Structure 1
Amino acid sequence: MKRILLTAGLAALASAAPAQSKVEIFGVADVGVARVSGTGVSKTGLSTGGANISRLGFRGTEDLGGGLKAGFWLEAGMDVDTGAGKAAGSSGLAFNRRSTVSLLGHWGEVRLGRDDSASFLNTLIFDPFLTNGVGGTMAFTILGIPGAANATGGAPIQISNAVSYFLPPNLGGFYGQAQIARGEQPSGAPNHNQGNYRGLRLGYRQGPLHAALAAGKLHGDTSANDLTASNVGLSYDLGMVKPMLLWASEKRGSLKVTALQLGATAPLGNGELRASYGHYNTADSNADWNKISVGYGYNFSKRTQVYGTYGYVKNKDGASRSIGVQGLGATGTSPGGSSSGIEVGIRHFF
């Protein structure tokens, strides 16, 4: 990925070697044409983020000497189809995807600010479609679109007011993350724990093998509305194909949904073939559904890709899930019905 680099030398007081600072501007522009269908209704239009979420970001590090570095990361989501940012309640630009400052050393990294939640990342990494577009896994929205810490919505994708610790990268393939976040409620309030989150993620990545597990808990407005999320991912790169397994579960009160997805990616020509099959089970209910997805991305270069994806959802009698994409919302479907989506687009890294 080509980046704009601004480098300046800083005199180090405690070392003969000069400290270095670096700032990068980076991003993704991804837009496509999509058609989504439900029970007796469909719509066609432009979508965004079908292969990778569109974004604009700034990040940098400064060498403080003695093996210590400082870093920052500001990343804002965008809708390329309309030119709008993803600020809450408006179309302005906001660093909703990540807004952090870090200290890094031989002992690992301490990171403060808004960041991906520890319990979300496995659903991204072990999905052939990286959760995006008409083909993306529904394992991170199995209790619905993540919302406020109350009685509705699924586990958080990003979490604000977070303090995270990451293990150092030199542990023979092992990695880990511990994360806490505060809802910042008044101490005397009846719901003083509302919005508090804690999460843990542990993994191993060495050679062709990658395995990880994660768990998190988000406190609701009452203890009955507390949400727990857990997941496990596994992949093994065989060269000609990389199979993936993802198991995920979310529970709030008496409602519990579990996802099991088998996926794979395979190099094909100057691109990559992607496929997945997922089963989503709602405990003690017939509100289950299945999803199948296939797609292909052709790389014109390391930065530019064209892609095409098809997804299909079949609901049991108690479920009414439907496919939507960023920029083109789901049409909805009747209980027991089916939904489909097809998308062709272009993604460019910068």
Structure 2
Amino acid sequence: MKRTHLLIPALLLSSPFAMAQSSVTLYGLADLGLGKLDGAKTQMQGNTVMNNTNSHIGLRGVEDLGGGLSAGFNFETELNAETGAGDGGWTRQANVWLGGNWGTFKMGRMNHPSFFGYLAWEATGNANYSVVANTYGIVGVGERSSSMFMYSTPDMGGLQGNLGYVFKADNGGAARTDLSLTYANGPISAGFSANKTKGEKANWALGGKYNFGAFTLNASYNDTRTLAVATKRSGVSVGGTVAFGAASVTLDVTRDLKHELGNADLKKYTNAVVEAKYNLSKRTSVYGAVLRLDSTTNYGVGLMHTF
């Protein structure tokens, strides 16, 4: 993905010395489409479940401190390409980090370690319409967390670990630990994710992906619990992607093995997503998707451009 390196004038004026010593990158993504959510009329779709990704813009910077040591930051905010409205803050990323040949230490708001384990095998690349994410909630806790400390090991022949921690004072009085272990080497990628908030049961997921060339096969097991509504849900996923040059078609299916509210059994669902995508260039794609989720049907088509 090509990024454009810019010296932002406002930042240059406010901190000329810092900018002179650092490389700063402006990046982003715009995604807008047309679709229909279950129970609603067909309309323009911006930042909905049937967009591939929520539109956003961000800044990241890095400074070479010498001796193999680097420091950096990342701020990322969400925008809506349909209305132009923003989220009112840097809610996607807001963190600083220090890294070297020993790994990377990061703190602030960022993706959970467990997110990276999930991303290693998820079929659509974490599209908004991912059937696994919409069924099991990305290892039960979603994509990001505030007030997190995270350590990531260096890449060791494709193997990498991530460990995160949120103090109880920053998490409603209950500390949370989050981790992942990923492997990516050659045609194989796999990830194990787990997280636990004190006083609650752990959420975890395990999955893998194998690239045969023109065809990619993926599978996973997910076990999640939502304490706020006393929901327990676990199940498996199986899917695959077939590539035809610049075009690809993905099918991913989940099947509940457990679905409970308190001590009561709920209906076990078979959910699925079908995605078709065509890359007009390295940065621009058109896509279409149908998501069957817990007896609802949602569909959409869209255009996505990265910069």
Superposition pairs for residues 85-234 of structure 1, below 5 Å?
85-86=86-87, 92=88, 94-133=89-128, 135-139=129-133, 142=136, 154-169=140-155, 171-184=156-169, 193-194=173-174, 196-219=175-198, 223=199, 226-234=200-208
Cα RMSD of the aligned pairs, angstroms, is 2.4
2:281 to 283, 295, 301: 301
Gaps of 5+ in 1: 8-18, 87-91, 147-153, 186-190, 314-320, 322-337
| Distance change (3 Å), C-alpha of 1:209 and 1:311 | same
Match of 1:245 in 2: 219
TM-score (norm 1): 0.75
Determine which structure has the larger helix proportion and give its number.
Answer: 2
Q: For residues 275-318 of structure 1, give each alpha carbon's deviation from its aligned partner in whole angstroms, at most 9, with x where no partner exists.
A: 111112315613221112211111111011011111223xxxxx
* 1:346 shift after superposition: 0.1
The letter for the 1-side match of 2:304 is R
SS at match of 2:41: strand
Does the CA-based 8 Å contact 2:78-2:90 persist in structure 1?
yes
Does the CA-based 8 Å contact 2:121-2:189 persist in structure 1?
no
Q: For residues 240-283 of structure 1, give each alpha carbon's deviation from its aligned partner in whole angstroms, at most 9, with x where no partner exists.
A: 10111122111256642103111212212322211111112315
The letter for the 1-side match of 2:303 is I
| Distance change (3 Å), C-alpha of 1:306 and 1:181 | same
Matched, 1:286 2:286: no
CA radius of gyration, larger in: 1
Does the CA-based 8 Å contact 1:228-1:252 persist in structure 2?
no
Match of 1:334 in 2: none
Within 2, Cα distance between the matches of 1:258 and 1:277? Answer: 14
Within 2, Cα distance between the matches of 1:43 and 1:259? Answer: 31
Does the CA-based 8 Å contact 1:99-1:115 persist in structure 2?
yes
Match of 1:188 in 2: none
| Distance change (3 Å), C-alpha of 1:76 and 1:183 | farther
TM-score (norm 2): 0.85
Does the CA-based 8 Å contact 2:131-2:272 persist in structure 1?
no
Match of 1:331 in 2: none
Does the CA-based 8 Å contact 1:123-1:139 persist in structure 2?
no
- Tell which deviates more after alignment, 297-306 or 278-287: 278-287
Aligned residue pair count: 286
Within 2, Cα distance between the matches of 1:261 and 1:161? Answer: 31
| Displaced runs of 4 or more, over 4 A | none
Gaps of 5+ in 2: 8-19
